[in-house]
Amino acid sequence: MAEIKDPENTIILETTKGKVVIQLLPEVAPEHVARIKELAREKAYDGVVFHRVINDFMAQTGDVKFGKKGGESFNPGRAGMGGSEKPDLKAEFSAVSHIRGTCSMARSQNPNSANSQFFICFTDAPWLNKQYSVWGQVIEGMDNVDKIKKGEPVVDPDSIVSMRVAADV
């Protein structure tokens, strides 16, 4: 397993394809990191599907409203259109590049609309740089991210089994 140097700023993401360890970047996007940790600690991401997974681009998840299997509002046809009950976040764009393993917030056309959804890049995506808020980097388990079932929308999608702050496990 990857060495976890800062458990308070590391996420352990258990997916239906295996474990993924993500190093958080609070110095880059403090508000986005705080939101990810808050939702992880509430277990809001548990059961959430990867609703949009594009080969050679990224895997998107995090719709805790419509994308949570077993949730009262679960609706596979609407997965990707919801977020949490928390307010949207102000953009925290940075000079950090979107490379393989980058974790970044999804949003609408409004730069200040990130809420709970995020994506993990399969490959370098420089056209996203300075337009999406990067909050983490996969340090272990990209092979498991690569195995996530592809589609737009995904039929019978893979999901997050659990998402925890390493300090809590």
Tokens of 115: 């809420």
What are the pLDDT tens digits along the chain (169 aa)?
678 999 999 999 999 999 999 999 999 999 999 999 999 999 999 999 999 999 999 999 999 999 999 999 999 999 999 999 999 999 999 999 999 999 999 999 999 999 999 999 999 999 999 999 999 999 999 999 999 999 998 999 999 999 999 999 9
pTM above 0.95, yes or no: yes
CB atoms within 10 A of CB 124: 14
CA distances to 21, 44, 93, 149, 168 from 164, rounded to whole Å, are 10, 10, 25, 22, 7
Which three-class secondary structure state does DSSP give residue 146? helix
The CATH number assigned to the domain with range 9-165 reads: 2.40.100.10
